[in-house]
Amino acid sequence: MTVRASGPVLVPILGDQLSPDISSLADRKPDDTIILMMEVSDETTYVRHHKAKIALILAAMRHFAEELRKAGWTVDYIKLDDDANTGSFTGEVARAVERHQPRGVQVTEPGEWRVRQDIERWRKDLPVRVRILPDTRFICPLPDFYEWAASRRELRMEWFYREMRRKTGLLMEDGKPVGGRWNFDAENRGGPEAGLEPPALPAFRYDAITHTVFDLVSGRFDKHFGSLDNFGWPVTRAQAERARDAFLKDRLPSFGKYQDAMVEGQDFLFHAALSPAINIGLLDPLDLCRRAETEWREGRAPIEAVEGFIRQIIGWREYIRGMYWLEMPGLAKANGLDASRPLPDFYWTGETDMRCLADCVRTTRENAYAHHIQRLMVLGNFALLAGLRPQDVADWFLVVYADAFEWVELPNVAGMVLHADKGRLASKPYAASGAYIDRMSDYCGNCPFDVKKKTGDGACPFNALYWHFLASNEKKLAGYHRLAQPYATWRRMTDDKRAAYLESAEAFLATLKPAETGWARA
C-alpha cells in the first residue's frame, strides 16, 4: 500500500448516507476533500427493487449532491448511465482513486453486511489507507449494543428501550419515566372506527432533477415490481422536513390510538410515513424524537401517542439494527422452523380473493409502503402460517418497500415475523387467526371468505392455517410459555375438529401457485 502524504481525502457517500453531518465528513474541510457519490447497477439490481425505491434513492442522491455543492464541497457524482461506470462501489472507488490520487479514503460504515464485506476488501486492494467510521446517526453505537447483548440471557426490546430512554433523556424526569410508566401500549389498541379519515400526507411538487430520475427509472427498470404513478416521497431535505412537520401536527396526536388499525384504502392512517426519509438520512431520528417530545410537553399530543412513536424509533429501530449486526451473516440463512413453501404468486400480482392480503399488496405496489401492522399481521402472518421459505419472504420485503434496507428488513422478517432465528428477537411467533384481522381492520366485511367460519368451503383461510401452523411446529414451539394456552386448546379439541382444521389448511395450501422466479432477483 502506498501511503501518500499529499492529495485530498476521498469520501464516498452511499445512497443511504445523505446527511450533512455524516461521520465521514465530520473532520473534513471542503478544500481538502473530494466527495464521491455513485449510482451503480450493483445497487439498483442486487434485488430488483420497487421502481419507487430506486427513484427515491437516485433523486435524493442527486439533490444531496447539489446541497453539498452549495455548501462548498466538491462532489464527484457518477450517474447510472455514465459511459465508464463500472457498476459497482468497488469499481467506482478504484477509478476515483486513480482520478484524484487521494492521500486516503474515509467512509462511514455501510448499513448492510454485503457492502461492509466489499469495503473491508478496499483496505487490502486499494493503494491508499481506508478509514471506516461508525455511523453516528444511530443512537446506540454497535459496541454498546454488543456489550448490552453480552450481559443478557434474553435480548428483549423492552429492556433495551429503557436503556435508550435513560441515555437520551427522552420522556424522562429525575431519572424516571414521565407519567410513571415506560410504556403506554395498553392505550394504543384502537381498532378501525367507522368514518376514520386521517389527514392526507403533504403533496410535493417535483423538479426537473426528480423528473429526469422518473424517466430513467421508467425506462431502465420498467420490468421491476410496482408503479411510479403515485410517487409521493420526499426527495430533498426541505421536503422531508415538511413531511415531518405535517406528521407532528396532523397525525402524531392520533398515532398511538390507531397504530394497530387497518382500514381498506387508507394506506397511511396516522403513521408517520417517514421511514424512507429517516433511513436514507434526510431526517435525523433523535431530532425527530425530540420534536415529538416537544409536542407532548407543549400539550399538543398525548403521552400515549408520543411515547409510542418514540419507542418505535429509539426502541425498535435501534434494537433491530443492533440485532442485525449481532446475528449476521447467519441471520440471512436462518430457518429455525424449517419452512420450505415457495412464495405464492399473489405477493407479486395481488391476485387473491383474500381481501386483507389483496389490499396490502395493492398499497405496496402503488406506494412502496404498507404500514407496520399490515406488514406484520397480514403479509407477515400469512408467510408464517403458510410456512413460506424465509429467504423468499426476505427478498420480497427487501424489494417492495421504499424504506427497505437489509439491516432493518431482515431482522423484522426473519426474527419478528418468521421466527427463523428461533426466538432470539421475539419471545413468540406473532401467529394470529382471522379473528385478529377482523378485530383490527374493516377487511373481513368485504371479503368473500367468512372470518367466523373455521373450516370447509368459504372459511377464512387464516383460521385453519393458524392451527395447522401450531400443529406442524408442535415439537419446536410447544415448550414456549406464551403458547401454552393455544396448545392446551388444540389438545382439548376432538380428533374430528383437529382433522377438519388440518384438512382445510392442506386443501387451501394446495391451491397456492408459486411465484415465477425472476421477480426479486434476475
Using CB under 6 A, list all residues that contact ligand DLZ. 14-16, 38-40, 43-44, 49, 54, 57, 110-112, 115, 405
Site stretch for ligand SF4 (CB under 6 A), options 105-113, 331-339, 434-442, 476-484: 434-442
Which amino acid does the sequence have at 173? E
Among 318, 395, 438, 442, binds ligand SF4 (CB under 6 A): 438
Phi, psi angles (nearest 5°) of residue 212: -60, -40
Least Å distance between CB 240 and ligand SF4? Answer: 34
Among 97, 126, 368, 444, binds ligand SF4 (CB under 6 A): 444
Please list, in sequence order, all residues whose beta carbon lies within 8 angstroms of the beta carbon of residue 60, skipping any fewer than 6 positions away.
15, 18, 235, 236, 280, 282
- Cβ contact 223:50 at 8 Å: no
Helical axes 113-125 vs 89-100, angle rounded to 10°: 30
Least Å distance between CB 92 and ligand DLZ? Answer: 9
Q: Output Rg (C-alpha) for the chain, integer angstroms.
A: 24
Residue 346 engages ligand SF4 in binding (rule: CB under 6 A): no
Positions 314 through 373 that interact with ligand FAD (CB under 6 A): 316-317, 320, 371-372
Taking every pair of Cα atoms in the chain, the longest distance, rounded to a whole number of angstroms, is: 81
Per rule CB under 6 A, count of chain residues that contact ligand FAD? 28
Q: Which does 412 bind (CB under 5 to 8 A by kind): ligand DLZ, ligand FAD, ligand SF4, none?
A: ligand FAD
Please list, in sequence order, all residues whose beta carbon lies within 8 angstroms of the beta carbon of residue 449, skipping any fewer than 6 positions away.
353, 354, 355, 434, 458, 459, 460, 461
- Cβ contact 27:123 at 8 Å: no
Positions 347 through 376 that interact with ligand SF4 (CB under 6 A): 354-356
Among 138, 184, 231, 449, binds ligand SF4 (CB under 6 A): 449
Least Å distance between CB 81 and ligand SF4? Answer: 43
Q: In this complex, which beta carbon is closest to ligand DLZ, that of residue 111 or of residue 411? A: 111
Q: Which does 404 bind (CB under 5 to 8 A by kind): ligand SF4, ligand FAD, ligand DLZ, none?
A: ligand FAD
Strand intervals (E) in 165-205 = 172-173, 176-177
* 3-class DSSP string for 451-495: CCCCCCCCECHHHHHHHHHHHHCHHHHCCCHHHHHHHHHHHHCCH
In the Cβ-directed half-sphere of 289, how many Cα atoms lie within 13 Å? Answer: 23
Among 77, 160, 348, 401, binds ligand FAD (CB under 6 A): 401
Per rule CB under 6 A, count of chain residues that contact ligand SF4? 14
Which residues are at the interface with ligand SF4 (CB under 6 A)?
354-356, 434, 437-438, 443-444, 447, 449, 451, 460-462
